Amino acid sequence: MTDPAIPLALASSRSRSGWRRWGLTVAIGALLVPRAHAQDSLMGTVLDEPGSAGLGFMIRAESSPYVDGDTRDDFLPLYLYEGERFFLRANEAGVRVWNNETMGVEGFVERRLEGYPEDEEPSSLDGMQVRNTGADLGARFYLEHGASRWALAVRHDIASLSHGTEARAAYAYTVESDRWRLQPIAMVSWRSGDLNDYYYGVASFEERPDRPAYDAGAGWNATLALYGKYRILKHWNLVGGAYVTKLSSEIRNSPVVDDDLQWGVMAGAAYDFGDGQVRWDEDSAPTYVKVFYGRDSESGCHLVRIMTLQCVGLNDEDPTDIVGVHVGRPFVSRLNGWPLDLIGYVGLLHHDEKGLQPDGWQIDAYMKGFYYGFPWSHRVNTRLGFGIGLSYAERVPYTEVTAQAERERNTSKLLNYLEPSIDVSVGDIFGSERWHDVYFGFAVSHRSGIFASSQLLGTVDGGSNYIYAYVEAAF
């Protein structure tokens, strides 16, 4: 999610949501990028080891550029990974095209956290088409020299919303000790007319006496920020920051905008799994392959009821099925000496919508903990797992579309992903050492928007649950 110097992301946060996008991006970037790979993020990081992964959260408040927009709060889940080649930074996923110790080039896809949700629009936007969160495809170049970092990035809308382009340039200077880090940042951002007009323009059919039609052109934004982190325990870091952005005259002159200065503050925490005994990128680490098949749960079977076995019924009215493959690699074995392993998974899931709507694909990426310290595990190894991450659906699943329509709430292709599971060793059951690392079990594929608290997830309140059976083997 971070952008060339995270701060770059700042500029893009022009809307109340855009604003938060800025802050989110910033703060997040601060958490994500390993020092060894300076990356785009001019912010510091808690992931200091190549191959590290982390989990955390950010809470932020930001002013809105829209008339009557007020101040808005946002919750951002942080799912972080910094590999030798690939990375995941909350709302951004990408690949390092080329890099050395001081500079590099990256390609990325990023969720643009700008716009406003339909159910929270200010009165000044009443009757206008919803300006939604989108997705950008981009490239960035970064350069480090001592405590200084420079970054340049260009991105373009690939969600067919604004069709706009943005270029960002930022500089950051780092002051740090063993436990803390501070970074003042300066950034400028050029936004195309298409981008500005999508979020701040007023179409002719949207005008009214107090809101004339307006075509926003291209313009420059400028941002100043200060971010920091503080390590409180071996793996835990507190992070925070504050920033202010001056919006271009093209944005300020819009009849739906009431100020050319925007501000934001943020605070959060992140846990770094960095120096576990097993590394994702080690050749000796096993690869876990899981194949599964399942069906959506019956109405009223939410995740907590399923996990507590109060409701495990399947939908028999308008059922839809899933089938998929997830592949995982371990990050940490026996965390802190406990019988607890952490494994990172990515995979594909196919939705069979039974003719109710076109079928679709889903990509899941998540970190999952497995506890296996039960008294009987020496006889039959039993694992209780819980995964948390992100899920992106090519098409919003039918079960989510119908459930949200009944509640008159919005949907989102990108949602939070949770996966509780329980399984047993097939080899232990049948007395075969060869099959000891083959597991059979049941799990829930859960997508949700965290109670409409996160713009990253489309401010969705609701989701879906699929109960499935699976076989997983380590190779």
| Model confidence, pTM | 0.79
Q: How confident is the model at residue 333 (pLDDT cuts 50, 70, 90)?
A: confident
Q: Are the beta carbons of 320 and 296 closer than 8 angstroms?
A: yes
- Exposure on the CB side of residue 396, measured as CA atoms within 13 A: 20
Q: Pick 7-272's CATH classification: 2.40.30.10, 3.30.70.260, 2.40.160.40, 1.20.1260.10.
A: 2.40.160.40
Q: How confident is the model at residue 112 (pLDDT cuts 50, 70, 90)?
A: confident
DSSP letters spanning 394-429:
SS--HHHHHHHHHTT----SEEEEEEEEEEEEHHHH
Q: How confident is the model at residue 118 (pLDDT cuts 50, 70, 90)?
A: low
Among 8-17, 89-98, 271-280, the minimum mean pLDDT is found in 8-17
Give the whole-angstrom CA distance, residue 63 versus residue 75. Answer: 15
**209 to 65, 68, 128, 206, 216: CA distances (angstroms):** 21, 17, 14, 10, 19
Mean pLDDT over 98-114 rounds to 90
List the domain boundaries for the chain. 7-272, 288-474
Check residue 49 and give its pLDDT. 62
Q: How confident is the model at residue 4 (pLDDT cuts 50, 70, 90)?
A: very low
Q: 262-282, pLDDT tens digit by residue?
A: 998 989 998 887 644 445 556
Mean pLDDT over 67-91 rounds to 82
Res. 28: pLDDT tops 90: no
Check residue 279 and give its pLDDT. 53
Q: How confident is the model at residue 350 (pLDDT cuts 50, 70, 90)?
A: very high
Q: 463-474, pLDDT tens digit by residue?
A: 999 999 999 999
Q: How confident is the model at residue 283 (pLDDT cuts 50, 70, 90)?
A: low
Mean pLDDT over 424-452 rounds to 94
Q: Are the beta carbons of 251 and 65 closer than 8 angstroms?
A: yes
Q: 129-154, pLDDT tens digit by residue?
A: 888 788 899 999 999 999 999 999 99
Q: Are the beta carbons of 438 and 472 closer than 8 angstroms?
A: yes
Res. 346: pLDDT tops 70: yes
Check residue 18 and give its pLDDT. 39
Q: Which of 122-136, 259-273, 285-299 has the highest mean pLDDT?
A: 285-299
- Exposure on the CB side of residue 121, measured as CA atoms within 13 A: 16
Q: Are the beta carbons of 418 and 448 closer than 8 angstroms?
A: yes
Question: Which tokens belong to 185?
Answer: 């940042």
Res. 32: pLDDT tops 80: no
Check residue 337 and give its pLDDT. 86
Q: Pick 288-474's CATH classification: 2.40.160.20, 3.40.630.30, 1.10.730.10, 1.10.600.10.
A: 2.40.160.20
Of the candidates 467, 468, 37, 51, the one whose C-alpha atom is nearest the C-alpha of residue 283 is: 51
Res. 20: pLDDT tops 60: no
Report helix, strand or coil for 240. Answer: strand
Which single residue is written with the structure tokens 């846990």?
271
Report helix, strand or coil for 8. Answer: helix
Percent with pLDDT over 90 in the chain: 57
Q: How confident is the model at residue 6 (pLDDT cuts 50, 70, 90)?
A: very low
Among 41-50, 57-66, 219-228, the minimum mean pLDDT is found in 41-50
Res. 251: pLDDT tops 60: yes
Q: How confident is the model at residue 369 (pLDDT cuts 50, 70, 90)?
A: very high
Give the whole-angstrom CA distance, residue 334 versus residue 372. Answer: 10
Report helix, strand or coil for 158. Answer: coil
